Structure 1
Amino acid sequence: MQNRNPNSRFGIDINEYTQDVNFTTLARTIDFLYLRASGSATGRFRVDRKFLEFARQARNFGIPVGAYHYGVPSYDLNTADSQCDDFINILQEGFGARNYGDLFPVLDIETPIEPKMNTDTLINWVLRFKERFERRTRRRLMLYTGVFFVELYNNFTTSKGTQPLKTMPLWIAMYTAIPSNPPFPPDVGGWTRWRIWQYSESATVAGVSNPVDANWGPDNIDYLRQPRQVSGLNAFISGDTLIVYWDKNPDVDLLGYNIFQNGSWIGTVTEKDTSFRINVSQLPAPVNNRRIISIEAFDYDGETSPVRSSVQL
């Protein structure tokens, strides 16, 4: 995988054991923040005691923030469903209804180690969690894991020789303080690039009083968050043509825009477009003589704007 570079964003991840957290200082110190929302290490779902407070404070101070769940895979795949649903619920409690954080929501997988479980089962459990989460939230799920753990589980390769987890955005842990480690993470599990690299578990960072996990992120925070809500939306009918136009989104990883009428998709355009035209005869019939035109941006990860902008004709 790649090494960090001078433009790599810097972030930390914290939990209820992080001491003397000063968000005024952190707002000047870090580019992004991850919080432990929950975990199932005790055999039951447990919310981090500081999550709700930290989520509120991060938002108040304008720090881009996301959250993770410490998952515990099981041979019972139903536990993926229950842990997923509980994670979705606590995210909304922390960030608001249908809001799952500014950054990618994260599933943290670093157990079991001893005794191990079957690699296929581990991967199937993660996929079950991922697919359920993404279907219910319309958000992409990031995977946190360690180089050691991937290698322990057959390089995350199934018995069929596939590596299905490699499509997930990756937050990889590999600590540079360990002498036997290479200078930056190697290719593992089918991944050739990380989105976040946790390079230390004992960094000294202004804004907290005890050592914390430290991370290098991408060159731009846009690569960790949803596209912005589209601004400047206008629409009108001229003759037999619906004309829609808007302001260009500034997201660096923008791929395009989806346009809707009364919630039904009517077209997709590229990131270079700021207008859309369609013959009225191709549109669904208006509802109660109303046409509500809405738009969302989408990026290369398939993430969409948190809110669709809309205008009524």
Structure 2
Amino acid sequence: MQKRSSDHAQGIDISHWQGTINWEQVRAAGKVFAFIKASEGSTVKDKQFLTNVQKATAAGLLVGAYHFSRATSPAGVKIEVDHFLSVVSPVTNDMKLPLVLDIETKEAGSKANIVKTVRAWVEYFKQRTGKYPMIYTFPNFIDTSLDASFGDIKLWYAYYNNDGTPINRGGWKDWEFLQYSSSGKVKGISGDVDMNEYHGSEKELRDKYDPTMVTPPPTEIDGKSPLWKETGRQWLIDELGISEDWKATDVVDIGTLGTILSRAMNNKG
């Protein structure tokens, strides 16, 4: 498998355990994407899921959702998949990243039964959606509970040894996303959060999963205005005669907004 790289797009994964998140600050901290817990087993719905998806998307992050499986046999996967899809259905159009099967516990017992159960899960998911989910798992689970038959499915790999190159496991020779820490610190989130990266740059990530999106720039950090705000400020000065004393970092109060709108309407006429 490939190594991590400083050029790779950075992101996080979260659930309700992270509490209320300031997604604008997360985006300003350079995080490009987020995987958000939607559901678990056949009945559990993450209570923060819809809010997190809507606010993360509004802040400019690419979003995916994951389901924590508790299926004990192939016969039990249908209810889980149906539950997962019902939970994500209100925000399906907001999510550009893959939907994920999180498989990391051994409710299904033996390796043979786990393999059959996971295969049944992904196949039924494909029947419902037309595509496979991505699989989230970790090295020991692959070694003890999966086989090479899943190599055709994208891997979100929990791999915390950052010193070397991950070896190929099961049928996988690369990873799509890598979770490399469970104790990250990100502005806008209280406490620890899982840290992740994509296997390419932010541009490559967006080109692949949301090629039509106009990328919103991150909010300024430490009082420095991003280029888009400086460009807008200059346009207001040049076209509407706004005072050069007005800075892009200034709060737009109602008086300033009224002046801008009034001059814009006059220029239009």
Q: Normalising by structure 2, report the TM-score.
A: 0.72
What is the CA distance between 1:146 and its match in structure 2? 0.5
Q: Which has the higher contact order (CA 8 A, sep 6+)?
A: 2
Q: Does 1:119 align with 2:111?
A: yes
| 1:89 aligned residue | 86
Structure 1 position 21, deviation (Å): 1.0
1:221 pairs with 198, 202, 205, which one? Answer: 205
Shift of 1:226: 5.9
Aligned pair count reads 209
Partner residue in 1 for 2:49 = 51
Describe the SS at the equivalent of 1:167.
coil
Contact kept in structure 1, 2:139 and 2:158, CA below 8 Å:
yes
Q: Deviations over 1:177-220 (max 9, x none)?
A: xxxx8534221112111111111011111221111110111212
State, as a whole percentage, how many aligned pairs show the same letter.
29
1:12 corresponds to which residue? 12
Secondary structure of the 2:172 match is coil
CA distance in 2: counterparts of 1:224 and 1:73, whole angstroms = 31
Using the TM superposition, give the Cα deviation of residue 92 of structure 1 relative to its aligned residue in structure 2, in angstroms.
0.7
- Alpha-carbon distance in structure 1 between the residues aligned to 2:78 and 2:211: 28
- For 2:165 and 2:188, locate their aligned partners in 1 and report how far apart those are by CA, in whole Å: 26
Kindly provide the amino acid, as one letter, of the partner of residue 88 in structure 2.
L
C-alpha deviation, 1:118, in angstroms: 2.0
Judging changes above 3 Å, is the alpha-carbon distance between structure 1 residues 211 and 101 closer, same or farther for their aligned structure 2 residues? same
In the TM superposition, residue 62 of structure 1 has moved relative to its aligned partner by 2.0
1:103 aligns with 2:97: yes
Residues 184 and 39 (structure 1), Cα distance of their counterparts in 2 relative to 1, 3 Å cut: farther
* Partner residue in 2 for 1:38: 39
Q: 1:149/1:187 Cα in 2 relative to 1: closer, same or farther (>3 Å)?
A: same
Cα drift, residue 228 of structure 1 = 4.7
Query: Could you tell me which amino acid in structure 2 is paired with residue 172 of structure 1?
Result: Y
| 2:151 matched residue in structure 1 | 166
Question: What is the RMSD of the two structures over their aligned residues, measured on CA atoms?
Answer: 2.1
Decide whether aligned partners of structure 1 residues 57 and 86 sit closer, same or farther in structure 2, where only a CA change above 3 A counts: same
Alpha-carbon distance between aligned partners in 1 of 2:36 and 2:192, rounded to the nearest angstrom: 15
| 1:192 aligned counterpart, secondary structure | coil
User: How big is the shift at 1:20?
Assistant: 4.0
- Rounded to whole Å, the distance in 1 between the matches of 2:134 and 2:207 is 12
CA contact (8 A) 1:37 1:87 kept: yes
- Choose from 132, 142, 166 the match for 2:124: 132
Which residue is equivalent to 1:24?
A: 24
Q: Which amino acid is the alignment partner of residue 38 of structure 1?
A: S
What amino acid maps onto 2:15 in structure 1? N
**Residues 85-144 of structure 1, C-alpha deviation per residue, up to 9 Å, x if partnerless?**
111111112x14xx482101000000017xx72222211211211112122222331000
- What is the 5 A alignment of 1:276-291? none
**DSSP 3-state at the match of 1:65:** strand
Q: In 2, distance between residues paired with 1:200 and 1:89?
A: 30
5+ residue gaps in structure 1? 158-162, 230-313
Does the CA contact (< 8 Å) of 2:106 and 2:114 recur in 1? no
The CA distance in 1 between the partners of 2:117 and 2:94, in whole Å, is 21
- Equivalent residue number for residue 71 of structure 2: 73
Deviations 1:217-260 (A, max 9, x none): 1212147626659xxxxxxxxxxxxxxxxxxxxxxxxxxxxxxx
Structure 2 distance, partners of 1:224, 1:201, is 26
Where structure 2 has 5 or more consecutive residues not aligned to the other structure, the ranges are: 214-269
The whole-number CA distance in structure 2 between the counterparts of 1:118 and 1:224 is 37
Inter-partner Cα distance in structure 2 for 1:223 and 1:143: 21
Supply the distance in 2 between the matched residues of 1:222 and 1:193 (Cα, whole angstroms): 19
Kept in 2, the 8 Å contact 1:38–1:48? The answer is: yes
Change (3 A) 1:175 1:198: same
Q: Give the number of the structure whose residues are more often helix, by fraction.
A: 2
More strand by share: 1
In structure 2, the partner of 1:290 is none
AA aligned to 2:85 is: I
Q: In structure 2, what residue type is equivalent to 1:85? A: D
Could you report, residue by residue, the CA deviation over 1:56-102 in whole angstroms, capped at 9, with x for unpaired residues?
11122221001000012313x22111100111111112x14xx4821
Of 60, 75, 79 in structure 1, the residue corresponding to residue 58 of structure 2 is: 60
Structure 2 partner of 1:299: none
User: Of residues 151, 161, 164 in structure 1, which corresponds to 2:143?
Assistant: 151
